[in-house]
Structure 1
Amino acid sequence: MHKVTKAASTALLLVIIVVCLIYLKSILVPLILAAIFYLIVVEVRTMISGMISLKEHKLPIWLQNLMASLTIFGILFVVVKIMSVSIQNLSESMSHYDGNLQLMEDKLNALFDINITNSLNKMVGDTNFTSLLRTVLSSVTGLFGNAFTILLYIVFLLLEESGFGDKLKAMYPKDSDYVQVMKLLTRVSNLVSSYLTLKTFVSLITGVLSYLVLVFVGIDAPFFWAAIIFILNYIPTIGSLIATLFPAFFIIIQTAEPTLGLVVLLAVGAIQLIVGNFVEPKLMGNSLNVSSLVVLIALAFWGTIWGVIGMILSVPITVLMIIIFGEFESTRRIAILLSETGNIGAPQIRTNLDDDFFFDETVQN
Structure 2
Amino acid sequence: MTAVLFELPPSLEAHEPPAVRDQVRLLVSNGDEISHHRFTDLPALLRPGDVLVVNTSATLPASVPVVGAPLRLNFSSELPSGRWLVEVRGSDLRPRPGAAGVVALPGGHSVTLLEPYSRGRLWVASVDFPVHEFLRRHGEPIRYPYVRRAWPIEAYQTVFATHPGSAEMPSAARPFSDRVVTRLVAAGVQFAPLVLHTGVASPEAHERPYSEFYSVPPASARLVNAARAAGSRVVAVGTTAVRALESAVDPSGTVVAREGWTDLIVTPSRGVRVVDGLLTGFHEPRASHLDLLAAVASRRVLERSYAAALSSGYRWHEFGDVHLLLPSPA
Task: Pick the TM interval, shorter chain.
Answer: under 0.3
TM-score under structure 2 length normalisation: 0.28
Hey, which of these two has a bigger chunk of helix by percent?
1
Bigger radius of gyration: 1
* Greater RCO (Cα-Cα under 8 Å, separation 6 or more): 2
Hey, which of these two has a bigger chunk of strand by percent?
2
